[in-house]
Amino acid sequence: RSRFHSSDKLTTSSPIRISSGNTTTTARSSIKTAAIMPSASTISSNGERASQNIPTFDGTDEKSKATDFANYFCAVLTHGASLVNRVTSLGLILPSQYAQLYHQKQMLTDHNRMAAYHAAIVGNADIFKDKVVMDVGTGSGILAVWAAQAGAKRVYAIEYTDMANHARRVVKANGVEHIVTVIQGAVEDVILPQEDWDGIGIDGGLGLGGLTLEVGDVEVNEDGRKNQRVVDIILSEWMGYFLLRESMLDSLVRARDTFLKPKTGLMMPSHATMLLAPISDEEERRVTHNDYANAMDDWREFAEVTSTMYGVDMSVLEQDYDREQKEYYVMSSRWAELRTGCLLADPIVVKEYDMHTCTVEDARGVGLNVGEDEGCGSPIEFDVVGRRLSTGFGSADGDSAADFGAAGPISGFAGWFTVDFKSRTDEVGRIAAPEVSNPAHLSTGPEMGYTHWGQQVFHFPSAIPLLPDQTTRIVGTMEMMRTKESARLYNVRFRFTTSRRKTSGSDDKDGRGAVLMKGKQEELVYQMP
């Protein structure tokens, strides 16, 4: 029912076949797996695993990470199909089985994505020259290769899945194996191979080598391991749908706090912004509602047949089935590739991230109280102008509705994100860090055409009509919070009221128009599957 697209970390968009005995079930999943599970294997100095890639539970934290990952896979893959051939004896699905080149190719052919990262790296070769770089979730290794080509002295390319083996081949084929070290493992568990530091001028002690560590960069963890913050630049394509969904922001923050030089280090991308706008998308909204209606018709037919042929009354379950199907079809977000003409108002910013200062707490969601699963929400406010009958304006291509008023109706909201590759703006980094002389920008909004992220659409159960010469105002809040089942999935809650005013004219003293109607408060909660 929804389209899944790929990412560097690992996203499966083709059917996955799950077999049990003589039964084969096809399911779809969309997973990112760069840095979230521990492994029984150790990581040698050349970045290769010393033993099989088998998850183990060495402690509470590892068990929590593994359980979260397994829950996410099971929730996305299937409702009831046996996973026996995809699950270890511990009940964990091995993500490396899904590291397929097909999915890497999908995101490598996302031109907007590729152009932005290429411009950010190759276009700023001056800040990469002779630097130590880490690529978190390297996937096929292309960002690591670009970093080496831009002049980096050493690149550590971290990849959890078996795609790391392909990355090593790509690195070698492009002649940068003396610069790029591919390390297979969870970034939280990685120890940089110190034995090669002398060769690239890094002193494993207090910064007496060719590359000087900043004061306080050598720390000893509780387990006795040293974590030297020797990395100058962290690269990562960590973003998920609507930025956070299934993303690896937590892992990225931990990598930053473990490896990046705090004063002069750079994150690429450096900033991220979440955007929201009202849309008119009635054709697709009606499709989902028709699918829901058809599902309920199928249930009633099933219940009647079961009663007639087998003498069992299943109608008692209709209400529960209705709730399931409504959540599945009506109250779930959808991947979309919208035209700009679908937008009914300018987008607003609902959350901004500075990748140099954001925290694991920030990754929990949007508009939440610290340590809680809900909060006051991020404010949203839109004025949607109905078509002005007096002007007779129109648009042949439908791409400038907001300029002259829209026919509507308001079908729901759409969310997307942008990321920027630019200089540090935090107080410390603004002074000490090198300047990014050629900033780059990546948008996943409708104005960009296709990206594999697309936009997330939240269709309303009932559309809000737009009336001629009237402005519909939507005022409320948006929250985005992790689901109880998985820290990689999110729910989105909108609380808002609508009102209508006469569209202001030259005789309107306050410029707002007379209030014609105030609606009741709506509360809509969506799953992001």
Predicted pLDDT of residue 516? 72
Residues 131 and 249 in one domain: yes
Same domain flag for 374 and 493? yes
Q: Say if residue 320 is in the same domain as residue 342.
A: no
**Rounded CA separation 157/97 (Å):** 20
Token pair recorded at residue 17: 């076949």
Q: Are 269 and 262 in contact (CB under 8 A)?
A: no
For residue range 220-230, list pLDDT tens digits in order. Answer: 554 444 557 88
Beta-bridge partners for 19: 24
Cis omega (within 30 of 0) for bond into 269 = yes
* Claim to verify: residue 264 and residue 140 sit in the same structural domain: yes
pLDDT at 25: 35
Residue with tokens 């707002």: 512
Helix (H) or strand (E) holding 421: strand 410-421
Residue 53 lies in a domain: yes
Contact 13, 103 (CB under 8 A): yes
User: Which member of 177, 246, 301, 522 is catalytic?
Assistant: 246
Final residue of a structural domain among 80, 101, 122: 101
Decide if pLDDT at 142 tops 90: yes
**Residue 382 pLDDT exceeds 60:** yes
User: How many domains does the chain contain in total?
Assistant: 4
Quick check: 306 pLDDT over 50? yes
Task: Give the whole-angstrom CA distance, residue 30 versus residue 3.
Answer: 9
Asked if the model's pLDDT at residue 189 lies above 50, the reply is yes
The C-alpha atoms of residue 421 and residue 433 are separated, in whole angstroms, by 14
Percentage above 90 pLDDT, the chain: 55
DSSP 378-393: EEEEEEEEBP-TTT--
Q: Choose the weakest-confidence range: 34-43, 411-420, 490-499.
A: 34-43
pLDDT in tens, 435-475: 999 999 999 999 999 999 999 999 999 999 999 889 999 99
Nearest to 453 by CA among 29, 119, 107, 28: 107
The most confident of the ranges 96-100, 214-218, 332-336 is 332-336
Tell me the per-residue pLDDT of 318-370, one tens digit each, with 9 for 90 and over: 999 999 999 999 999 999 999 989 999 999 999 999 999 999 989 888 987 76
pLDDT at 86: 33
In three-state secondary structure terms, 71 is helix
Instruction: Say which of 177, 237, 352, 485 is annotated catalytic.
Output: 237
| 237 tagged catalytic | yes
Cβ–Cβ under 8 Å, residues 142 and 161: no
Is residue 286 included in any domain, yes or no? yes
pLDDT at 405 (0 to 100): 59
**Residue 123 pLDDT:** 97
* 73 pLDDT tier (thresholds 50, 70, 90): very low
Given a contact cutoff of 8 angstroms between Cβ atoms, the answer to whether 76 and 29 are in contact is: yes
Residues 6+ apart with CB under 8 A from 290: none
**Number of other residues whose CB lies within 10 A of the CB of residue 350:** 24
Per DSSP, which regions of 260-385 are E strands?
A: 266-268, 271-279, 334-336, 348-354, 365-366, 378-385
Alpha carbon distance 16, 202 (integer Å): 45
Counting residues of the chain whose pLDDT is more than 70, the rounded percentage is 67
What per-residue confidence (pLDDT) applies to 510?
52
Encode pLDDT of 249-289 as tens digits: 999 999 999 999 999 999 999 999 999 999 999 999 999 99
Residues 131 and 46 in one domain: no
Q: What value does the mean pLDDT of the chain take?
A: 77
Where does a domain end: 307, 330, 353? 330
pLDDT for 483: 86
Question: For residue 4, is it within any domain?
Answer: no
Most confident residue range from 125-139, 189-203, 240-254: 125-139
**Structure-derived torsion over alpha carbons of residues 132, 258, 375, 384, reported in degrees to the nearest 10:** 0
Report pLDDT digits (tens) over 26-58: 333 333 433 333 333 334 444 544 333 333 334
CATH number of the domain enclosing 453: 2.70.160.11
Q: In terms of pLDDT, which residue wins out, 174 or 100?
A: 174
Compute the distance between CA of residue 163 and CA of residue 169 in angstroms, rounded to an integer: 10
Which residues pair with residue 526 across a beta bridge?
492
Query: How does residue 212 score in pLDDT terms, banded at 50, 70 and 90?
Result: very low
Q: 352 and 494 in one domain?
A: yes
Contacts with 109 (C-beta within 8 Å, 6 or more apart), sequence order: none
- 187 with 35: CB under 8 angstroms? yes
Do residue 262 and residue 286 come from a single domain? no
Amino acid at 517: M
Range(s) of the domain holding residue 290: 282-330
Return the CATH number at 173.
3.40.50.150
Average pLDDT rounded to a whole number, residues 98-113: 81
Kindly report the length of the chain: 529
Distance CA 206, CA 198 (A): 13
DSSP β-bridge partners for residue 23 = 20
Question: How far apart are the C-alpha atoms of 169 and 174, rounded to whole Å?
Answer: 9
pTM for this model (two decimals): 0.76
Q: Which element (helix H / strand E) includes 181?
A: strand 180-184
Distance CA 205, CA 17 (A): 51
Say if residues 231 and 132 touch (Cβ distance below 8 Å).
Answer: yes
Q: 270, 303, 318 — which closes off a domain? A: 270
The predicted pLDDT at position 115 comes to: 97
